[in-house]
A and B are shown apart, each in its own frame.
Chain A
Amino acid sequence: MFFRSIKFRLTIWYLVVLGVLLLIFATIAYLMLSNSLYQSIDDSLKLGAANMGNFLEMEGSGADFDNDGQFDFGEQPLELMLFYDTGGNLVLEQGWGVNADNPQIIALITQDLSDGSLYTTEVLNGREMRLYAVPIEDELAINGVLVVGRSTAEVKDVLENFGYILLFTSLAMIVLAGGCGLFLANRAFKPVEKISRTAREIEETDLSKRIDVHSEDELGRLASTLNQMISRLERAFGRQRQFTADASHELRTPLAIIQAESTLSLRKERKESDYRKSLELISRETAHMATLIDKLLFLARADSGKEQLNLEVVNLKSLITDLASEIEVLCRDKGLKFKIGPLENLDVEGDKVELRQLFSNLLDNAVRYTPRGGTISVSVERQKDTAVIVITDSGIGIPEEHIGHIFERFYRVDKARSRADGGTGLGLSICQHITKKHGGRIEVESQVGKGSTFSVSLPLSQKS
Chain B
Amino acid sequence: MRILVVEDERRLCNIIKRGLIEEGYAVDSAYDGEDGGYLAESTPYDLIILDIMLPKKDGIEVCQELRKKKVNIPILMLTARDTVEDRIKGLDAGADDYLVKPFAFNELLARIRALLRREGRSKTPRLQVGDLIMDTLTREVWYGERNIELTSKEYVVLEYFMRHPNMVITRTMLEEHAWDYDFDSVSNLIDVYIRRLRRKIDENSKTSLIQTVRGAGYRLRES
Contacts and interface: CB of A to CB of B under 8 A. Distances in A.
B80 A249 contact: yes
A1 B10 CA distance: 63
Interface stretch (A43-51, A180-188, A258-266): A258-266
B19 A256 contact: no
A208 B159 CA distance: 53
Given A257-B11, A260-B15, A281-B11, A252 B105 contact: no
B12 A257 contact: yes
A264 B11 contact: no
A252 B10 contact: no
Interface string B25-59: 00000010000000000000000000001010000
A274 to B, nearest CB: 10
A258 B104 CA distance: 10
B102 interface: yes
A214 interface: no
Contact of A419 (B9, B18, B103, B105): B9
A353 interface: no
Interface residues of B, number: 22
Contact of B9 (A253, A258, A264, A267): A253
Contacts of A264: 15, 18-19, 22, 105
Contacts of B16: 260
Contact of B102 (A245, A258, A267): A258
B67 interface: no
B136 to A, nearest CB: 15
Interface string A339-379: 00000000000000000000000000000000000000000
B106 interface: yes
Contacts, number: 65
- Bin the interface of chain A by size: 20 to 34
A420 interface: yes
A263 B12 CA distance: 13
A416 B55 contact: yes
Contact of A415 (B8, B22, B102): B8
Nearest to B55: A415
A370 to B, nearest CB: 22
Contact of B12 (A245, A253, A267, A415): A253
Contacts of A125: none
A258 B105 CA distance: 11
Contacts of A256: 9, 12, 80, 101-103
Given A249-B53, A253-B101, A259-B103, 9 more contacts: A253-B80, A256-B102, A259-B105, A260-B16, A260-B19, A264-B19, A267-B19, A285-B11, A416-B8
12 contacts: A253-B101, A256-B80, A256-B101, A256-B103, A257-B15, A260-B16, A260-B103, A260-B105, A260-B108, A264-B18, A416-B31, A420-B10
